[in-house]
Chains A and B, each alone.
Chain A
Amino acid sequence: MKLRNILAVAALSGLVLMSAKGGDEEMKITDACKRNETIEKVKTEIIPFRYDKTTTTKVMFKGYKQSIQVAVPIFYDSKYKFVINTEGLPYGVKVTIYDKPKNISSSKILYEGAEGEKQIVFELPSTYDRTRIYVDYDIPASEKADTKEKGCIVLGAGYENI
């Protein structure tokens, strides 16, 4: 009986190990993000505005579409330049900029990029009257069921005080 127990434990452990190993082999991970390189491109494009900062949004693709919203505060008497770079993604995303969150019925589109546009440059005049803009990323579904696909979007902001 003892031997049978030992054999059963060994067989089951082997099965568990094999399935865990097999799982790792099945699910590949790819990351298209080249953060430093992209940030440098974004910073160059912001000139001649005064560079403020960049923010990197990490994207994990799933089997369904996703949406990410970045709210950006806008201050009085300032002109802004935004540079959005999506080169660090395996699929093209669509970038749309709104004056209010897009789920609010009165929200207006300030800029609508084409799907797959790699670098978007958007200037906001000082006459813009709202205190926020909302940058939306429409993320398509992953096409690979056997791969965890990752990437990033870099948003850079520059400003000019009037």
Chain B
Amino acid sequence: MKRILVVDDEPHIRTLLEQLLEELDGFVRIELAKDGEQGLRLAIEEGPDLVFLDIMMPKMNGFEVCQRIRDIRGPESPYIIMLSAKGQIVDRDDGLSSGANEYITKPFDPDFVLERVAAILDIPA
């Protein structure tokens, strides 16, 4: 059972991702965080395999959460997908520079997200 952490301050987006990822029921367990601080805490304590990370969030932004996870977890870091409505190239560079593995812009294609998750976590489609 793989563990996925969704960190987003928008409740609808959290719900959307939660419902979407439920399609991989039986392979994944989903946890939700409503801001950066909570996200970081869960990422450290729960040790997820994959983190969906929004960038613009109250308390702690996604870049910082990402860096902190990398700093603390080191080689044990989860796979991190930045998920943001910011679509500029410089944002993507910032995201990847802060240690994210991927950067997906909102609005995203739910099918694509599922496909990525399956590929990353080696879940048969």
* A is bound by B: no
A-to-B contact residues, CB < 8 Å: none
